[in-house]
Structure 1
Amino acid sequence: MGHTTWEDKFTDNHEDFTNKICWVSNTYYVSPSQRHLPAASEPRERIGYYQWVPMILLTQAVFFYMPCMLWSVVEEAVKLNDTAWCERRGKTLRFTAQQMSRYLSGTREFRRGRYTRCKHFLSRHFCLVCGRRYGNYLVTLYVFIKLLYLGNIAAQLFALEAFLGSDYHIYGVQVRRCSCRPEGFFHYVRCTCRGLICGKYVRKLATREMDKILDQIGGMPKVASRNDDDFSDRLSHRVTTFMLIACAMIVSTKQYVGEPISCWVPAHFKSDHEKYTNDYCWVRNTYYLSFDEYIPKEDEHDKRHMIPYYQWMPIILLLQALFFYVPILVWRTLNTKSGVDVNFIVEAGESFQDTNKAKEQDKILAFTVSVKNAFSRTFCISYGRRHGNYLVGLYLFTKVLFIINVTCQLFALNSFLGMNYNMYGFDVVGELLRGDDWTESDRFPRVTMCDLKVRRLGNVQRYTVQCVLPINLFNEKIYLFLWFWMVFVATMACLSLLTWTMRSVFYSDRMRYVKKHIVLMQEQSGGDDLDIKSTDGRRHFRSFVQEYLQQDGVFVLRLVGHNTNAITVTEFVWDLWKKYCHQPQRFPRVTLCDFYVRQLGNIHRHTVQCVLPINLFNEKIFIFVWFWLVFMAAMVFCSILVWLYRNLVRLRQVSYVKHHLQALQVLKKDNERVLRQRVRQFVIDYLRQDGVFVVRLVGLNASELVAAELLAELWGNFNSGRNALLRPKDTENDVEQV
């Protein structure tokens, strides 16, 4: 903020008031060669940009980054379903070729005709027709992004003319001309040197380091975001909430760090009187009075346009942010009652899209489809879930909540701001079209009046002072932007509600959405799966959409498609279709039942269709039991072979005992042949098969160290002859032979 020169009769508080009112009311330029100041009725070249230079620079930075964001978002939607990296070069090439062939096959044009051939001709030779089906979508998109960069620069050059009030598009040419003059040479050299010093930092921005810079700027702890919604919902609960909190922080900083109000007090007021007046007028509210109106008397309350909102602006902005977040809380709290976590399925789809290995893709796909399979057969007692439209109804209700929230906030601010806020944007646009100054209005006045009473020596003295509210400079711009933003959010929410309603209500749209994914995969796979174009296939397909997926299932698939890409949804739908076509008959979910009823002497036969939810669990239980039994049989068979080998092979037993005795160094260094004979005699005559078996069990269930110590103790007993059970003499020759 600048400083001003003032008359001698101005005190310190007058200086502060003057500085602030000149800051919020803008200034104008007068050349030093002009002798006389312009009269009150003469036009002035006002300078109205310096308060907003930081915001304009940030806005320019955002616009420069938007083409890159657009390219990233659109390119993400059409990328070739992620590269699955393999260790070998040949496998990598084959897998990449397979994924690329799938993308190219899935985006080709299936229709035939003269009109289609004409469009292909125009797309190949003149680029007049573009799209994924014509093979030039990414090329056209990239060229369009380049044009956006160029158009962005040109638009900013000419847009800054209106903002800065000068011929900004030729500003550099004028500077170059001035630098050629002797008086401008050193200024030009200084600018050049500074440019060279800063060059290495600028080059970092030119090497695609913008993402890292933005990550460092926003290097605060990140909260795990959920994507169980669409773009219009995120505009409300994510972008709008963040903007409102940021605006609340800006206004709070101005209120509690700076001086939000400054009043023009009489000259005999001291500094503490001035501070008291400022605080009093801040907490007691002020009122707006134009300069052509007289100051109302004490009892003329109806002529005072009170301004009661500026003290509560941060709290109101935070409350608005809270109300914008409430609908998504309702959605996320109640959608878990459906029997499945929608966010989990969407995150699984994103993991499937971003995974780096083909095997992991198959695992994620199988697990997600199993969760969706269980969800499609969930039977609950709550309304809507049995009919398969619980999530759809809840999601549409959430969108209605978003619309009601925006509408209510537009009208609720009428009473808070004391004006017709719901028509604020239209009024500003009308003033701009008429050429009026829309900033000088009674909605967010910068200069207001304040009445205060002071009791002095038993008398009550009434003062009316003029106050300046610099905070209203920000409040006006914030709420003008919020009006247009809330109208935009409400429009997007209405369009999204209409779109999702049409998608969910019309049965033909659901059939068409699922069918296009299945047809695409059938043409690529070329397998023996059930063809949905046949009579039997159409019947199964209708049952698949109506009874298996239902409205909620198609809705979840659409959410996955919104947050990943079309190829991921195609994989999900195809796996669900295969599971439905190859349902096992051992544990059927849907069965038939015949029964007879005797009525008035007659026997009536009825055949009804029954559903067995218990088979959903029976199938999984017995599948697990089967694999577990096979595993146990294999383990037992292997264990039998191992123990037979250990107990039937004498050499294996002798080696086991000798190894443990040598580990504890209990064998004396005698003749090797004599030592080997004594160990054999210890194993065959003393321990025998049962002893070795018990020692092995001890080693398995305790430790091999315990088994070695046990053998050492038995070896000592064997050598001492206290409990040795030696074989008869006539068998010693046989032992030596062994």
Structure 2
Amino acid sequence: MFDVFGSVKGLLKLDQVCIDNNIFRLHYKATVIVLIAFSLLVTSRQYIGDPIDCIVDEIPLNVMDTYCWIYSTFTIPNRLTGVVGKDIVQPGVGSHIDGEDEVKYHKYYQWVCFVLFFQAICFYIPRYLWKTWEGGRIKMLVLDLNCPVVNEENKEERKKILLDYFSDNLNRHNFYAFRFFICEALNFINVFVQIYFMDYFLGGEFSTYGSDVLSFTEMEPEERGDPMSRVFPKVTKCTFHKYGPSGSVQKFDGLCVLPLNIVNEKIFVFLWFWFIALTILSGISLVYRVAVCFWPKVRLYLLRARSRLSSHEDVEQIADKCQIGDWFILYQLGKNIDPLIYKEVINDLAAKLEGTKSIV
């Protein structure tokens, strides 16, 4: 198992300098790790076995397996409910009449690993954009002030560099902040798009998949239509056409077992709940960001909470002089600089900005 997921461990590394927030990291770190791990899992034959095994008379099994894997298999939706017996050997399969019984084809299974990997790339794109646009600015400004033990002489020198930079570039950071806000909006848009894309990929089944699984246990046994068996059937049918000795087409109806769907059904149940939770959290994050952009008081309270060791008067004085971009830089620095050193930075910055015209 370590051999399978060993390549994912590099994504678990924590950055020394934080340039985003926890919800942002849920997108590019937690979700990417989950999707890549699932993509690797569905390609691991040693844990799941062959992805498809078909049974049919007169046709070599390896030929039947390859044919059905390439050209898809199908189930009969009206055979998903009822008691296993005379007419229903397995849920979703059984005798059917061509042209009368509805037939549902399943073509997704050979693409699952690629789709999961593609989604992992999509979830990482906003992070890549922000890291490119950010350009290491926060790391440059931190200057190792995130260490609790810093040589006094070096600390004063680094503080002076930070304060000089901030005072010289006051009110010039708005574009920097808005690019981060754009990436946050892209995260929200992306998770929405991925839900609809997954719904399209599974033939319109994903949007209600998780809720259907939850409600499944409340139904009567004879009325139950297992949504996991409907979307990810373990036993399907496959029709093989072969030319007979006289040149006529012979039709062979076979049963196919899909062991991989035992894993797929759990993966997509988890992803349904994960994407829904991520959408809600990202929506809350956008509401919070709108409040930060349009209400200066919110920025003041947040800066107070971040610099809790500093006096309220110093924080208010800085907030009065700063635009949203300056506030964003200070807030990000507060996540990375040691609290005691950050208190000194706030106090010194308030003194340095004293007399500067306030931003209304």
Alignment TM-score > 0.5, same fold:
yes
Give the AA of the match of 2:150: K
Match of 1:500 in 2: 289
Q: Using a 3 Å threshold, how does the CA distance of structure 1 residues 439 and 413 change in structure 2: closer, same or farther?
A: closer
Task: Describe the shift of the 1:277–1:555 C-alpha distance in structure 2 as closer, same or farther (beyond 3 A).
Answer: same
Distance 1:571 1:295, change over 3 A: farther
Amino acid at match of 1:453: H
SS of the residue corresponding to residue 43 of structure 2 reads helix
User: Which fold has the larger relative contact order, with Cα–Cα distance below 8 Å and residues 6 or more apart in sequence?
Assistant: 2
**Which residue of 273, 278, 296 maps to 2:65?**
278
TM-score norm. by structure 2 comes to 0.80
How far apart are the structure 2 equivalents of 1:445 and 1:343? 51
Q: Which residue of 1 aligns with 2:276?
A: 487
With normalisation by structure 1, the TM-score equals: 0.41
Unaligned runs of 5+ in 2: 80-87
Report how far residue 218 of structure 1 moved: 8.2
Matching residue within 324, 328, 347 for 1:574: 347
Q: CA deviation at 1:313?
A: 0.6
For residues 333-372 of structure 1, the aligned pairs below 5 Å read 333-336=132-135, 341-345=137-141, 347-348=142-143, 351-359=144-152, 360-372=154-166
Quote the offset at 1:494 in angstroms: 1.3
| 1:395–1:222 CA distance, 2 compared to 1 (3 A) | closer
User: How far does residue 512 in structure 1 lie from its aligned partner after superposition?
Assistant: 4.1
**Equivalent AA in structure 2 for residue 368 of structure 1:** L
Distance of 2:100 and 2:340 partners within structure 1: 68
The counterpart of 2:28, out of the listed 237, 240, 247, is 237
Match of 1:248 in 2: 39
The alpha carbon displacement at 1:441 in A equals 2.6
Equivalent residue, structure 2, for 1:310: 109
425-434 vs 367-376, which deviates more? 367-376
Q: 1:550 aligns with which of 286, 305, 323?
A: 323
Distance 1:516 1:283 in 2: 59
Deviation at 1:364, TM superposition (A): 3.3
- Asked if the contact 1:411/1:422 (under 8 Å) is kept, the reply is yes
Contact 1:308-1:417 within 8 A present in 2 as well: no
Distance in 2, Cα, partners of 1:470 & 1:519: 56
1:409: which partner in 2? 194
Q: Which amino acid aligns with 2:262?
A: L
Q: What's the counterpart of residue 294 of structure 1?
A: 95
Distance in 2 (CA, whole Å) between partners of 1:358 and 1:477 is: 53
Amino acid at match of 1:341: R
Q: Tell me the CA shift for residue 413 of structure 1.
A: 1.3
CA 1:433–1:393: 2 relative to 1, 3 Å: farther
| Aligned amino acid, residue 573 of structure 1 | I
Contact 1:447-1:469 at 8 Å conserved across structures: yes
CA RMSD of aligned residues (A): 3.5
CA contact (8 A) 1:288 1:305 kept: yes
Q: 1:509 to 1:568 in 2, by over 3 A?
A: farther
Q: Kindly provide the amino acid, as one letter, of the partner of residue 451 in structure 1.
A: T
Q: Which amino acid aligns with 2:235?
A: V
Q: Do structure 1's residue 445 and structure 2's residue 222 form an aligned pair?
A: no
Q: Does structure 1 residue 264 correspond to structure 2 residue 55?
A: yes
Give the direction of change, closer, same or farther, for the CA distance of 1:565–1:402 in structure 2 (3 Å limit): farther
Alpha-carbon spacing, 1:255–1:498, altered in 2? closer, same or farther (3 Å): farther
State the secondary structure of the residue aligned to 1:353. coil
Name the CA shift for 1:353/1:262 in 2 (closer, same or farther; >3 Å): same
What is the DSSP-based 3-state SS (H/G/I as helix, E as strand, rest coil) of the residue aligned with 2:51?
Answer: coil
Matched to 2:165, the amino acid is V
Relative to 1, partners in 2 of residues 1:546 and 1:244: Cα closer, same or farther, differing over 3 Å?
Answer: same
Q: Is the 8 A contact 1:355 1:361 kept in 2?
A: no
Q: Is the 8 A contact 2:244 2:250 kept in 1?
A: yes
How many residues align? The count is: 334
1:148-204 CA distances to partner (integer Å, 9 max, x unpaired)?
A: xxxxxxxxxxxxxxxxxxxxxxxxxxxxxxxxxxxxxxxxxxxxxxxxxxxxxxxxx
Deviation at 1:389, TM superposition (A): 2.8
Distance, in Å, in 2 between the alignment partners of 1:504 and 1:575 is: 26
Higher radius of gyration, 1 or 2? 1
Amino acid at match of 1:281: C
